[in-house]
Amino acid sequence: MSGLSCARTLGRDSVERSPVGPSRRPSGTATSTGRPEASRWRALWVTLVAGFMILLDVTIVAVALPSIQRDLGASPAAVQWVVSGYALTFALALVPAGRLGDTIGRRRIFLGALAAFVLCSIAAGAALTITLLVIARMAQGIAAGCLAPQNSALIQQMFTGAERARAFGLFGATVGISSAVGPITGGVILALATGPQGWRWIFFVNVPVGAVALVLGYRLLPRVAPGKKGHLDLSGVALIGCGVVAVLLPLVQADSGGVRRLWWLFPVGALLLVGFGRWERRVAAQGGEPLLHPRLMTETRGYATGASLATLYFMGFSGVWIVFALFFQNGLGYSPLQSGLAVTPFAVGSAGAAVVAGRLVERMGRLLTVLGLVGVIVGLAAAALLLRFAPPSVAVWAAAPALLVGGIGSGFVISPNVTMTLREVPVQMAGAAGGALQTGQRLGGAVGTAALPGTYYLVLASSGDDYRLAVAASVGVGIAAILTALGIALIERRTNPGSTAAPCAPEVAHGHCHATQS
């Protein structure tokens, strides 16, 4: 047996020592976090329910857009902002809200954002005009963006060692399932809430769920003293905010020609984001408090790789569901509910695999992500080929096993990557780091949801309405992005063999960690 020692980076004096192996304490006993084990897991479920709700709202509304347009007499461009406005403000709030949670308290931001989300859901459901609905949705997006980074930060705060990996496994399952079941959930709600006003229940359903989560969160979330007080880097907020808006705005308006009209915002956004990076380095060099510390990218092992991988994966992953919905509904004549049920195998596989992956990532590390990406590529490629060449009457049944394989692979990607990206981030920076990670996911998702449907319509127009060729070609574009993510994972595994080892337990006194290697 030989000792494997790995040096920790930022702020290790404030990180609590934790066991590497699975916890075997009886339920209800105290842990290194200072909270009974059962109480911490109940608190986790509260955050997961809230996280599921806000992520579900990214996609659930899409199936209700035709009903909203008819009922409110809105134009296609205006009704698109019901989806786009939420996505835009969601991404805009993530990093500043993560930093605020680090400084003034994650519990406080979580509860405040959850209460605001519930109120905005009421306003959206009760909106009498499309303008009021869009305003409510944009406010709802801000609340969601403030809540989202607190989820991963609270996991960092409440759990350590192997328990943290299990918690991130559940968190990853929540992310994957919420992305996949949005169309299904929306279809079920519209099927149950009949009539021209039925779309309002898409928003009202958040109210009882959010209210219960708010009460339980108030009782269960840990009351921990906030981090070091300091001023918020307002210049950094302005730079990253304007940069994110400039990059996202053409993409969220892609359906109404936004990319063609607003293409010039892409280089503007890139310059602003580069300027944000340079500004943050300057603030850090002068001993200030940057919004997102540069050393997260340069010195925190696994963070830069994980953030890049997540952005590329969501670029290929997110747009696939829109393409499948277009194919099943417009190409095969399915109802919204049938269309959602057709991709259920992917959601089921992703949910089950993500929970298992939370236990495996401690032993397998980045290898698990590599295997997962291969599974997603194989599953989506097989599904695309079956939808292209199998008879339409049996195509959806033939593609179900392939989608199940892709879903299992996805479960081995999202939650392990979150764990490996954030596991060495100091707890006092967990909110900002989680916010930046999710910002990358939202940016990647926006690119994918613009590029893949764009490819679908382009192939459809050039092939004389060949829906089967269009779905195969657009899913192929998504696979190309996932292949790039696979390349990043393979490079990290080759250049950083330590990424395949279990994470070390930090030593408070010396800032080092030790694990045993056979």
Beta carbons of 214 and 118 less than 8 angstroms apart: yes
Give the strand order in the sheet containing 512-517: 2-7, 512-517, 505-506
Assess contact for 420 and 488: CB atoms under 8 A: no
Query: 78: left (phi > 0), else alpha (psi -120 to 50), else beta?
Result: alpha
Please state the domain extents for the chain: 2-13+35-232+291-505+512-517
Pairwise CA distance, residues 84 & 425, whole Å? 31
Torsion angles phi and psi, residue 516, rounded to 5: -100, 135
How far is C-alpha 168 from the geometric centre of its chain's CA atoms? 12
Amino acid 305: pLDDT: 87
Buried b (16+ CB within 10 A) or exposed e, 301-321: bbbbbbbbbbbbbbbbbbbbb
Nearest to 144 by CA among 249, 250, 52: 52
User: Rounded to two decimals, what is the model's pTM?
Assistant: 0.75
Strand pairing category for 2-7 and 505-506: unpaired
Q: Which two tokens stand for residue 138?
A: 């944009």
Bridge partners, 491 (sequence order): none
Nearest to 54 by CA among 109, 120, 99: 120
Average pLDDT, consecutive stretches of 10 residues, N- to C-terminus, the chain (518 residues): 38 36 40 60 92 86 80 81 83 84 87 96 94 93 91 84 79 75 78 81 92 92 66 77 81 70 86 87 79 73 86 86 83 79 85 80 84 95 92 87 93 85 78 80 79 84 87 92 93 70 39 34
Helix (H) or strand (E) holding 132: helix 130-158
Residue 459 φ/ψ, nearest 5 degrees: -65, -40
Per-residue model confidence (pLDDT) at position 433: 81
Q: At 510, which helix (H) or strand (E)?
A: none
CB 370 within 8 A of CB 378: no
Q: For the chain, give percent helix, strand, coil, nearest 5.
A: 80, 5, 20
Which residue do the tokens 């708010």 mark? 214
Architecture of domain 2-13+35-232+291-505+512-517: Up-down Bundle (1.20)
Core vs surface per residue 380-393: b (16+ CB within 10 A) or e: bbbbbbbbbeeeee
Helix boundaries (H) for 159-233? 161-192, 201-204, 206-220
- The packing angle between helices 303-326 and 430-462, to 10°, is 40
Quote the tokens at residue 86: 């939420």
Instruction: Assign 26 to helix, strand or coil.
Output: coil
pLDDT at 486: 94
Beta-carbon contacts of residue 192 (< 8 Å; ≥ 6 apart) = 201
Spatial contact of 485 and 306, defined as CB atoms under 8 Å apart: no
b/e per residue, 415-432, with b = 16+ CB within 10 A? bbbbbbbbbbbbbbbbbb
pLDDT for 498 equals 53
**pLDDT at position 207:** 94
Q: For 305-320, what is the HEC assignment?
A: HHHHHHHHHHHHHHHH
